[in-house]
Chains A and B, each alone.
Chain A
């Protein structure tokens, strides 16, 4: 090549190389610009994203509050138990490991197969896995001696929710069960992290399902804590670098009384029924018992599905809280309320008397309404009518009453309303009125319906809670304090007072005198329980008919079927003349109120008064 040509070629090469190297420099600039936008402009965003990648927050379960009775004795407490926890990622050969641990802790076949199943999922990441729950003292001792040879196993304290009276208090305390929704309580922790929660309870994340556990769940459950871990891309957790302690839930101090509740259970025995007792000064519910019952300890700490189904399907309905949801005709226990209505509205006075032939004839139709005693009680006034529980007197009184006014009066005594401020799923039932009957049965109200109401039969039904509340209004001479299970603290409870210009303090004294006579006088229907105690008690018993019959002979036939037998009911308060407690007892198919429900009421009052 000649020199000139070489020079042309060289220049040509230079310009082209310059072009290409220029493009390379542009490439460098583009990369630098991009890196600048990532590292300088976008720094905060990417730094956050990097933290989000590696920081793994894990919730730490809080201890629930405990529940105490009115004397400070534990009703539900957190009992520490010990579980054997393993770290699957440190176990090389799981079969070998099980062989080594088997002489130390007893493992059932089910526990082993469950462990092997979960092991496969957990071995990949360094998370904990429970091998055996609730270790015995011997197992703990055996493990502690040999723990040096197991660096992949440790014992951890896990709590159980335990009541020392699991059956007596089942309905009122309620139970806890595992929950899937606890993640809402710590919204800053993503829901997916909850599978790694550090548990405090052996049963896992729990929430109140019924009773006080449910009503006061927010107060009891406390605030979960959280631990922040450093996590790698495989999901393995490393050191935790911050720890927000969980705070225990608030304890509940209730008005409940272990002794009184236990005597309610003891004297109700294996009969179905309910007992409610109220402290007249505070409105606190001292006893809330329903039978039959179940064990909340089993339910709260992991009951098998099979056992649970048996409970639910039990024909005796142990889950049913009869004290708050059972609907029973008040029967003769309503008579004081009817009497108050008659006196307040000047339909009758204490002197007014009628002749009781043992039945009442409805003038319009000639239909006969029978008393409980053949031949009647002779001449009866208000006091005697209450003492001997004359049906004729109250039929006649109800006959002269305006049903709308009477229904209002009953409502003002708490019937047809929710009584207890913190009871779980209380039934408010209803007070029958012409409007109610028309909408429910598409039929008009007849005078006979009002007449039946006079002795607490017919359409009127109440719960034991409503009866106890009614008894406490009678005992407090009209002062109605809202019943509650949990002590309200320093704040004064609101109360309403049942007042009527036609019903003066003197009337209240006479009413108390009459109701005391029911038990304490020689003529009272409940005199059979007079000798069971040392103090005086006022009350009114009742026998709720489930079938309306015209003769005793017919009832003898009905008796053969236990479920059709009359319910036995009593309301009572004492000690008279300055009552401190009111109580209601309903015994299903117990028959004769005073003699059957009466002793239970007396025993409950005794254990409340004796302290």
Chain B
């Protein structure tokens, strides 16, 4: 058994976008070598992790899914109790010299756990099982959202809901819960949202009301992207980026840097690679060996897609500002490593075949 499990399409497209990401980060950080070399190290480590994770048989992940979830939840608890408070939120846990955003793990642990819970259930799924699933999703969501980190909380919840949906949730149930969601939204607005989050949403619907306050970011981001034109202003030439009009260029708003310096052409290239990665995941899900693998690939890759689209919509002004990085491009070790981790799992699920008669 010397076979190396790895999907070349996925591997090279991820490799490509990570290298491009380093270039973008170099410009976005005003040419900061320290940041870029640190990020390069994370990319290298990440690629290795991805390759390592894709080797074990999917059964390993299935059997350890419960442990994995519990481990992630304990880490969340540690963060909640001992983590340093940054900007009014406790999201980080320190392990020696590394800090890690513990909620990243939940984005993986929850869908794997639910896939394991649901993969052998008979169709259609029973109400009791649906309720158990929903309760698990909701509890996990609450734990993350109270950090407070509503954005990640919603992503974590989505990762669970994707699995539930893909496993065959009945349409009548979906319709019913949608009605329930609409009815309960005023409650959510008042109780779940922090004042600054409400402010962000209010600003989103009326950005010009406060050009130097909360909506500054989104206005500057639109100016950056718009002024890029067809081919952009050139590498390191974006005035919005280089003169710091654009906020958070290394993290949330790095897409605006790409838009400004490489224009519509650069955006098209970037989006094509992302789309290619997603379509490859879609193919892998359909051709996976069993239901568990399908659910995990589907859940994780759709979570990745949601993450990506929310970031894109945010920086172009289609959604309110929520802290969400651009996958594989934004600065940040823990999100990058967990992405490679996630795609390692996808590769493992997509490349291990059972020797069954087709």
A residues engaging B (CB < 8 A)?
1, 5-6, 8-10, 12-14, 16-17, 20-21, 24-25, 27-28, 30-32, 34-36, 38-40, 42-43, 45-47, 49-51, 53-54, 230-234
| Distance A17 CA – B282 CA, assembled complex (angstroms) | 8
Tell me if A24 and B309 are in contact (CB < 8 A).
yes
| Interchain CB contact under 8 A, B123 and A16 | no
Q: Which residues of chain B are near A34, meaning CB under 8 Å?
A: 313, 316-318
Q: Within 8 Å CB of A32, what residues of B? A: 267-268, 271
Residues of A within 8 A of B239 (CB): 50-51, 53-54, 230
Least CB distance, B6 to chain A, in whole angstroms: 23
Chain A hits for B222, CB < 8 A: 38, 46
Query: Is B240 in contact with chain A by the CB < 8 A criterion?
Result: yes
Most buried by A among B227, B243, B306: B227
In the complex the two chains form, is B229's CB within 8 Å of A39's CB?
yes
Q: Given the known A-B contacts A24-B278, A32-B271, A53-B243, are A40 and B230 also in contact in the complex, defined by CB atoms under 8 Å?
A: yes
Please measure, in the bound complex, the distance between the C-alpha atom of A45 and the C-alpha atom of B306, giving whole angstroms: 31
Interface residues of B in 266-286 (CB under 8 A from A): 267-268, 271, 274-275, 278-279, 282, 285-286
A528 and B291 CA atoms in complex are apart in Å by 131
Closest to A53 in B: B245
Contact: A39 with B228, CB < 8 Å? yes
Could you tell me the distance in whole angstroms from the C-beta of A126 to the nearest C-beta in chain B? 13
* Residue contact B243 to A17, C-beta cutoff 8 Å: no
Q: Is the CB of A233 within 8 A of B120?
A: no
**Closest Cβ of chain B: how far from A532's Cβ, in Å?**
75
Known: A30-B313, A232-B244. 6 other contacts (CB 8 A): A24-B309, A34-B317, A38-B259, A39-B225, A47-B227, A53-B243
Q: Is B263 an interface residue (CB 8 A)?
A: yes
Q: Which residue of B lies closest to A6 (CB)?
A: B291
- Whether the pair B162, A20 counts as a contact (CB closer than 8 A) is yes
Q: Does B321 belong to the interface (CB within 8 Å)? A: no
- Tell whether A12 pairs with B123 under 8 Å between CB atoms, given A35-B259, A39-B226, A39-B228: yes
A231 nearest in chain B by CB position: B243
Measured CB to CB, the residues of B under 8 A from A are 120, 122-123, 162, 165-168, 220, 222-230, 239-240, 243-245, 259, 263-264, 267-268, 271, 274-275, 278-279, 282, 285-286, 291, 294-295, 298, 302, 305-306, 309, 312-313, 316-318
* B166 touching A46, Cβ below 8 Å: no
**Chain A, Cβ-Cβ closest to B311:** A31
Across-interface contacts of B318 in A (CB, < 8 A): 30-31, 34
Q: For the complex, what is the distance from the CA of A308 to the CA of B342, rounded to whole Å?
A: 78
A54-B243 in contact (CB<8A): yes
Given the known A-B contacts A12-B123, A31-B312, A31-B318, are A42 and B226 also in contact in the complex, defined by CB atoms under 8 Å?
A: yes
B225 touches A21 (CB 8 A): no
Whole-angstrom distance from the CB of B217 to the nearest CB of chain A?
11
Report B-chain residues with C-beta under 8 Å of the C-beta of A6. 291
- Complex contacts, A47 vs chain B, CB 8 Å: 226-227, 229
Q: How many A-B residue pairs have CB under 8 A?
A: 138
A511 CB to nearest chain B CB (Å) = 77
* Contact A45–B226 (Cβ < 8 Å): yes
Chain A residues with CB under 8 Å of B123's CB are: 5, 8-9, 12
Q: Which residue of B lies closest to A230 (CB)?
A: B243
A10: chain B residues at CB < 8 Å are 291, 294
- By a CB distance below 8 angstroms, the chain A residues around B267 are 32, 35, 39
Q: How far is the CA of A28 from the CA of B222 in the complex (A)?
A: 17
A28 to B286, CA, bound (A): 21
B271 touches A50 (CB 8 A): no
Contacts of B122 in A (CB 8 A): 5
With a cutoff of 8 Å between Cβ atoms, the chain A residues found around residue B230 in the complex are: 39-40, 43
In the complex, chain A residues whose CB is within 8 Å of the CB of B220: 53
24 A-B pairs in the complex with CB atoms less than 8 angstroms apart: A9-B168, A12-B168, A13-B168, A16-B166, A17-B285, A21-B302, A24-B305, A24-B309, A28-B271, A28-B275, A31-B313, A32-B268, A34-B313, A39-B226, A39-B259, A45-B226, A46-B223, A47-B226, A50-B240, A54-B239, A230-B243, A231-B243, A233-B245, A234-B244
**CB-based contact A20/B264 at 8 Å:** no
Most buried by B among A8, A35, A54: A35
Query: Cβ of A43 and Cβ of B226 under 8 Å apart?
Result: yes
The docked-state distance in angstroms from the alpha carbon of A580 to that of B285 is 111
Give chain B residues whose Cβ lies under 8 Å from the Cβ of A31. 271, 309, 312-313, 316, 318
Q: Chain B residues near A45 (CB, 8 Å)?
A: 226
Minimum CB–CB distance for A238 against chain B, Å: 8
B341 to chain A, nearest CB (A): 21
Query: CA A13 – CA B167 in complex, angstroms?
Result: 7
- The residues of B that contact A14 with a CB separation of less than 8 Å are 286
CB of A27 within 8 A of CB of B309, answer yes
Complex-state Cα separation, A232 to B223, whole angstroms: 15
Kindly list chain A residues whose C-beta atoms are within 8 Å of the C-beta of B226.
38-39, 42-43, 45-47, 49-50
Cα distance A359–B23 in the bound complex, in angstroms: 110
With CB as the reference atom, state the residue of chain A lying closest to B243: A232
A17 in contact with B286 (CB, 8 Å): yes
| Complex Cα–Cα for A233 and B226 (A) | 18
The chain A residue with its CB closest to the CB of B268 is A32
Given A12-B123, A39-B263, A50-B240, verify A20-B166 contact (CB < 8 Å).
yes
Cα of A43 to Cα of B274 in the assembled complex, Å: 25
- Select A16's contact among B165, B268, B312, beta carbons within 8 Å: B165
The distance in angstroms between the C-alpha atoms of A1 and B312, with both chains bound, is 41
Instruction: Name the A residues within 8 Å of B245 (CB-CB).
Output: 50, 53-54, 232-233
Q: Which residues of B contact A1 (CB under 8 A)?
A: 120
Distance between B177 CB and nearest chain A CB, rounded to angstroms: 16
- Would A50 and B313 count as touching, CB distance under 8 A? no
What's the Cα separation between A34 and B313 when bound, in Å?
Answer: 9
- In whole angstroms, what is the CA distance A234 to B243 when docked? 8
The complex places the Cα of A486 from the Cα of B82 at a distance, in Å, of: 83
Please, which residues of chain B bring their CB within 8 A of the CB of A43?
226-227, 229-230
Find out whether the CB atom of B278 lies under 8 angstroms from the CB atom of A50.
no
Q: Which residue of A lies closest to B304 (CB)?
A: A24
Residues of A within 8 A of B271 (CB): 28, 31-32
Q: How far is the CA of A13 from the CA of B284 in the complex (A)?
A: 13
- Highest count of chain B CB atoms <10 Å: which of A6, A10, A28: A28
Expressed in whole angstroms, the Cα–Cα distance for A42 and B316 within the complex equals 13
List the A residue with the shortest CB-CB distance to B167. A13
- Cβ of B223 and Cβ of A13 under 8 Å apart? no
Q: What residues on A are CB-neighbors of B285 within 8 Å? A: 13, 17
Contact B286 A35 (CB under 8 A): no
Q: Which of B229, B313, B318 has the most CB of A within 10 A?
A: B229
Provide the residues of chain A in CB contact with B263, threshold 8 Å: 39
CA distance A204 to B168 in the complex (A): 77
- A-B pairs, top 9 by smallest CB distance, nearest first, are A46-B226, A50-B227, A232-B243, A27-B309, A38-B226, A233-B244, A31-B312, A54-B239, A24-B305
Residues on A with C-beta less than 8 A from B244 are 232-234
A395 to chain B, nearest CB (A): 80
Which of A27, A28, A38, A40 has the most chain B CB atoms closer than 10 A to its own CB?
A: A38
C-alpha spacing A31/B272, complex, angstroms? 12
Contacts of B225 in A (CB 8 A): 35, 38-39, 46
- From known contacts A34-B316, A230-B243, A232-B244, infer whether A49 and B168 are also in contact, taking CB-CB under 8 Å: no
Which residues of B are found within 8 Å of A24, using beta-carbon distances?
Answer: 278, 302, 305-306, 309
